Amino acid sequence: MASLTIRKLDEGVKTYLRLRSAMNRRSVEEEVRVILRELIEGREEPLTPFEPSAPTPSPQRTSALAEASVTLIIGGGIAAYKSLDLIRRLKERRIEVRCVLTKAAQQFVTPLAVSALSHERVYTDLFDPQSEFDAGHIRLARDCDLIIVAPATADLMAKMANGHADDLASAILLAANRKILLAPAMNPLMWGNAATRRNVAQLTRDGVTFIGPNSGEMAEAGEAGTGRMSEAIEIAAAAERLLRPPVPRPLVGKRVLITAGPTHEPIDPVRYIANRSSGKQGFAIAAAAQAAGAEVILVSGPVDLDDPAGVTVRHVESARHMLEQVEAALPVDIAIFAAAVADWRVANAGEQKLKKTSAGMPPLQLVENPDILTTISKMKDKRPPLVIGFAAETEHLIDNAKAKLKRKGCDWIVANDVSPATGVMGGDRNTVHLLSKNSGKDGDIAVDSWPVMTKEQVATELIAHVARSLADKPLEPAT
């Protein structure tokens, strides 16, 4: 039995799995099992002597870069020329294409042209000894992630709807256990004919997806109506939607503010007080919130990280500068304070570089910085409906975090042990406990301890918690 290493999946797939599993309160592994079960149970497996009843393994990729593969069946119609462009459009989306030409298709495009564009051999015959010795039509039906039929002629659709298998294209379609996308192309009278209507209805019931046909002028002189095959770019986009379903976006319409990184508190123009925060956790939270559909404002102290895509980033140096930018970002629906803000700054920071003098060390007088989390949590007017703080502790983690939750007035605290032995500060992994006031009874604080995770996983899990809490108890909109 094959085993699947989640870690080795594409980032997009991992994000999708993490969000989906967190939303459904399942482990990622369990979620993968559920997805596989749904896939298998939601599909009638045709019983053939060639195939065990277990699901087929993923297709073998011939190109290291290709992320998905498609079997493209080109039917016989004048629109077949557009399928040449479709091959190109699919390949630019890193989708591998293997093509099958019906006999009629070869009247419109040549196997040579198709093969040159797809960089693969082209399949034309059901009884081709070269490919059929190992049941080639079964492989073409299953060694792919999606089957596209473009153009899907009235005849091919009729065969499909009735389960015929008298040529390679129809045999593949009958043996398929992958999603099928049809791009019909035919004369408007054929498209409107009762027989075609019946076939379309049957194929829709069978779970086949249609793209088009579009309306417009037909190849036949003077004829117009519905029956033009969709453009290659439309078909490629439809294929992409089926191959890479969108990540759930539970935070669409929400504005999220996040602070991250350390602050630098100047001593003089060249020296400063800082801490070891890398900003990785806050940046990961910003990316996860953005992936969940939120509008994200990230206020970051000095870090060595790239700005996350699609996020508005305000770069700041000191705690006071950070507070200014946080206040400027209000109102928001959710505020997450992951920054390691310096508690103190130098009161008498020099305008000029401090010099060594015979008088000895210059006295550094420290004054307390504003507590940004407390300031925002205790706001009267603009307090965000959900305020989340972090508690990085080196001892008595839970007790200190509980006290901090009460003292600072936020709703949740993410507590993590940052003692040097954990390697959390600057590292890639984190072990956290989520403390929340809301879910505990009688003012109790609920403590939810998570296993060791990467900072990206912690971020995804936290954002999924936020999304679930919104679903359970919708926030008052930010004003």
Binding site for ligand C5P (CB under 6 A): 259, 319, 337, 339, 341, 343, 369, 371-373, 389-391, 404
Cis link prior to 213 (omega < 30° from 0)? yes
d(CA 73, CA 104): 12
Cα gap 252→471, rounded to integer Å: 12
Q: Which helix (H) or strand (E) holds 70?
A: strand 68-74
**136 or 389, CB closer to ligand C5P?**
389
Which tokens in the block code for residue 25?
């309160």
The residue type of 51 is E
Residue entry with tokens 């009247």: 107
- Output DSSP code: residue 224: E
Distance in Å, CB of 381 to ligand C5P, minimum: 19
Here the tokens at position 392 are 């990085």
Q: Give the Cα separation of 390 and 393 in Å (integer).
A: 10
How far apart are the C-alpha atoms of 155 and 439, rounded to whole Å? 60
Answer yes or no: 400 catalytic: no
Considering the complex, state which of residue 241 and residue 378 has its C-beta at the smaller distance from ligand C5P: 378
Q: With respect to ligand C5P, which residue has the nearer C-beta, 200 or 316?
A: 316
**Catalytic residue of the set 24, 193, 275, 400:** 275
DSSP string, 257-297: EEEESB--EESSSS-EE-----SHHHHHHHHHHHHTT-EEE
Please tell me whether residue 399 adopts helix, strand or coil conformation: helix
- Any idea of the CA torsion for 227, 229, 234, 235, to the nearest 10 degrees? 120
Closer to ligand C5P by CB, 316 or 372: give it: 372
Closer residue to ligand C5P in complex, CB, 121/378: 378
User: Locate tokens 């001892």: which residue?
Assistant: 395
Q: List the catalytic residues.
A: 275
